[in-house]
Chain A
Amino acid sequence: MLIAEPLQKAIDELSKLPSIGKKTAQRLAIHILKDDKESVESLINSLRDLKEKIKLCNECFNIATEDKCDVCKSNKRDRSIICVVEDPSDVISIEKTNEYNGLYHVLGGVLNPLAGVTVEKLKIKELLERVKNEEVKEIILALNPDAEGDATSLYLTKILKEAHIKVTRIARGLPIGGDLEFADSATIGRAFIGRIEL
């Protein structure tokens, strides 16, 4: 196989990206090769800016352009509630709802001993510091409802209760707006197990 080295290198780099396979990487590389110089420069710059200008908020570890993220800087947010999430994309999802007016704390993952993620790899110590220093009344746990997310929630509940903080957890169950008939049977089954008394 004889492919010009720069092209092969670009294909290899692109195929490292999530959900990009060899064929897609090749198509993207060829597209970039054919594209005019300005748009390629713009792409390069935007990628560089992403790495150079974006950092993590030193308060909540959300994505930020300065030391603090937009949520932490805002004086309109309720500083007595902190919502704990796995990663910055969860912040985006929750912000889109316009339902939540408190602060966030991004853990940077969930407990996963098999993958080597234990307590010290997550921003848990920092969360405890915030709880001590600020006027925090409630912690909302909004982690994914799988084995790892659940264990992380249970761990946080335990250590936060020791610090006498109210801990709540978002509900799990059927999606709203989706008809019962369209939900998969496992989701409905789990919703039945987790039913609540009215």
Chain B
Amino acid sequence: MVLKQLELQNFRLHKNTSLNFSDKLNLIIGGNGQGKTTILEAIYYLCTTKNLILASESDVVSLNENFFDTKGNFADLTNDESRVFYDSTKNKKSVFLNDKQITNSAEIIGKFPIVSLIQSDHAITLGAPADRRKFVDSVISQVSKTYLEILIEYNKILRQRSVILWKLKENYDKNLLDELDAWTVSLINAGTEIIKYRISFVNDFNKYLLKSYSQIVENLETPKIIYNTVSENIDSIKENFIDNINSAHNDELRRAMNLVGPHRDDFLFFINDLELKRFGSQGQHKTFQIALRFGQFYYIKDKLGKTPIFLMDDVFGELDTYRSEKISQHLNEIGQSFITMTDFSRVEELNLSKESNIIKVENGKTKIIN
């Protein structure tokens, strides 16, 4: 699947921008604050209806305007037009697919698969367990709507159960304890399904990670993800889950918190059996983050049978020449990609093919130079 054309109106610095893209690599070059990442942001909206950098919609509207509008033409087996329109006077976002309004964003998600490598990705390897869970959950959700649904339900059960825990802390009584038991069983049932999905995902994904990693680094390093949960054995998840929640019972009541379940799990990253978080160098972290995103790309491509669009925001500045060259080789092979860069001096490293497109961005104005 490729994005053929993009239109932006009142979208940050882009008052009125219209662009045609290459089916291969699209390089977006410009100084800081000129509107490079904005183009990625718009593409991400069209594919997911969400903001790439978690900014609020009202911040995306150009100064002194009251709406933004973005349209994209995608070509796959058929041609589809996706459009996201936001009215800041009503704080209302409307999404259209081929001119028909979409009310459930799930209808769009997965239709235009997308993978993004952005600055905040450093949190995946350097940040808290929640950042790693978010990465894993987002990848599985892109290929399984069932997983997404169970995850939403599980989060609801967590909130309900914590209300009961709070009440028990205030006022301990037997009836409330029975009520807690009901929510505990729900929690275990939904939680067990989540853990099963995650275990099989990690088993599968490690192969993709290894392949992507080996394409970026020269020496023989073996990356690996280990899922740290209630049980490694798929048959004893429920049993262990029940045991753990029983032994945490008093702690849960004392702290009025859900202390056991997949919402507390972590994913540990290893290179050659050494934990990345403790022993990894800056460069290894960066490489690992990139390999995770390339792994995600191939994983989604295999599972959905569609080639995702790849976004890469200002990543080359942090990489040495060797890895930049490796990555650009990769990018030439994978399909359509959009890459932002601050200066022309490093373009040579990218071995651009004839099909590549270079877009220069200056203060919200674009120019195609080939």
B145 touches A148 (CB 8 A): no
A151 touches B182 (CB 8 A): yes
Roughly how many angstroms separate A184 CA and B144 CA in the complex, as a whole number?
12
Having A113-B167, A147-B157, A186-B148, one finds 4 other A-B pairs with CB under 8 Å, namely: A119-B176, A147-B186, A150-B189, A155-B179
Pick the contact of A193 from B146, B179, B182 — CB < 8 Å?
A: B146
A113 touches B164 (CB 8 A): yes
Task: Give the residue name and chain of the B residue nearest to A157 (CB).
Answer: B182
List, in ascending order, chain B residues with CB within 8 A of A186's CB: 145-146, 148-149
Tell me if A97 counts as interface (CB < 8 A to partner B): no
Min C-beta distance of B189 to chain A, whole Å: 8
Task: Give the residue name and chain of the B residue nearest to A185 (CB).
Answer: B145
B145 touches A147 (CB 8 A): no
Q: 8 Å CB contacts to B: which residues of A140-163?
A: 146-148, 150-152, 154-155, 158-159
Pick the contact of A114 from B144, B160, B179 — CB < 8 Å?
A: B160
The 22 listed contacts between A and B (C-beta, < 8 Å) are A111-B160, A111-B179, A113-B161, A119-B175, A119-B178, A119-B179, A120-B175, A147-B153, A147-B160, A151-B185, A155-B178, A155-B179, A155-B182, A158-B178, A185-B146, A186-B145, A186-B149, A188-B146, A189-B147, A190-B146, A190-B149, A193-B146
Roughly how many angstroms separate A143 CA and B354 CA in the complex, as a whole number?
62
- A contacts with B: majority SS: helix
Q: 8 Å CB contacts to A: which residues of B166-197?
A: 167, 175-176, 178-179, 181-183, 185-186, 189-190, 193
List, in ascending order, chain A residues with CB within 8 A of B156's CB: 147
Closest 5 CB pairs of A and B: A189-B146, A113-B163, A155-B182, A154-B182, A186-B149
**Centre residue among A120, A147, A158 by max chain B CB count within 10 A:** A147
Tell me if A118 counts as interface (CB < 8 A to partner B): yes
Roughly how many angstroms separate A96 CA and B193 CA in the complex, as a whole number?
35
Report how many residues on chain A are interfacial, defined by Cβ distance under 8 Å.
Answer: 25
Roughly how many angstroms separate A158 CA and B180 CA in the complex, as a whole number?
11
Pick the contact of A150 from B145, B176, B186 — CB < 8 Å?
A: B186
Asked whether A118 and B179 contact (CB < 8 A) given A113-B163, A185-B146, the answer is yes
Residue pairs across A and B with CB atoms within 8 Å: the count is 72
A155 touches B149 (CB 8 A): no
Min C-beta distance of A188 to chain B, whole Å: 8
B164 touches A154 (CB 8 A): no
Pick the contact of B186 from A154, A190, A192 — CB < 8 Å?
A: A154
CB-CB contacts of A95-115 with B at 8 A, as 1s and 0s? Answer: 000000000000000011110
Task: Give the residue name and chain of the B residue nearest to A112 (CB).
Answer: B160
- B contacts with A: majority SS: helix
Pick the contact of B181 from A148, A158, A192 — CB < 8 Å?
A: A158
Roughly how many angstroms separate A185 CA and B160 CA in the complex, as a whole number?
26
Tell me if B255 counts as interface (CB < 8 A to partner A): no
Task: Give the residue name and chain of the A residue nearest to B182 (CB).
Answer: A155
Report how many residues on chain B are interfacial, defined by Cβ distance under 8 Å.
Answer: 28
B182 touches A111 (CB 8 A): yes
Tell me if B159 counts as interface (CB < 8 A to partner A): yes
Interface residues of A (CB under 8 A from B): 111-114, 118-120, 146-148, 150-152, 154-155, 158-159, 184-186, 188-190, 192-193
Roughly how many angstroms separate A146 CA and B156 CA in the complex, as a whole number?
10
Roughly how many angstroms separate A186 CA and B141 CA in the complex, as a whole number?
11
Roughly how many angstroms separate A147 CA and B179 CA in the complex, as a whole number?
14
Roughly how many angstroms separate A188 CA and B181 CA in the complex, as a whole number?
29
CB-CB contacts of B115-149 with A at 8 A, as 1s and 0s? Answer: 00000000000000000000000000000111111
Min C-beta distance of A56 to chain B, whole Å: 23
Roughly how many angstroms separate A185 CA and B147 CA in the complex, as a whole number?
11
Roughly how many angstroms separate A151 CA and B144 CA in the complex, as a whole number?
25
Roughly how many angstroms separate A113 CA and B182 CA in the complex, as a whole number?
12
Min C-beta distance of B195 to chain A, whole Å: 13
A155 touches B164 (CB 8 A): no
Min C-beta distance of B264 to chain A, whole Å: 19
List, in ascending order, chain B residues with CB within 8 A of A146's CB: 153
Roughly how many angstroms separate A185 CA and B142 CA in the complex, as a whole number?
13
Roughly how many angstroms separate A147 CA and B167 CA in the complex, as a whole number?
19
Roughly how many angstroms separate A155 CA and B176 CA in the complex, as a whole number?
10
B157 touches A193 (CB 8 A): no
Roughly how many angstroms separate A118 CA and B173 CA in the complex, as a whole number?
13
List, in ascending order, chain A residues with CB within 8 A of B167's CB: 113, 118
List, in ascending order, chain B residues with CB within 8 A of A154's CB: 181-182, 185-186
Task: Give the residue name and chain of the B residue nearest to A152 (CB).
Answer: B182
List, in ascending order, chain B residues with CB within 8 A of A119's CB: 175-176, 178-179
Roughly how many angstroms separate A67 CA and B185 CA in the complex, as a whole number?
38
Min C-beta distance of A122 to chain B, whole Å: 11
List, in ascending order, chain A residues with CB within 8 A of B157's CB: 147, 151
B182 touches A148 (CB 8 A): no
Task: Give the residue name and chain of the B residue nearest to A159 (CB).
Answer: B178
Roughly how many angstroms separate A147 CA and B149 CA in the complex, as a whole number?
11
List, in ascending order, chain A residues with CB within 8 A of B163's CB: 113-114
A189 touches B145 (CB 8 A): yes
Min C-beta distance of B232 to chain A, whole Å: 21
List, in ascending order, chain B residues with CB within 8 A of A189's CB: 144-147, 149
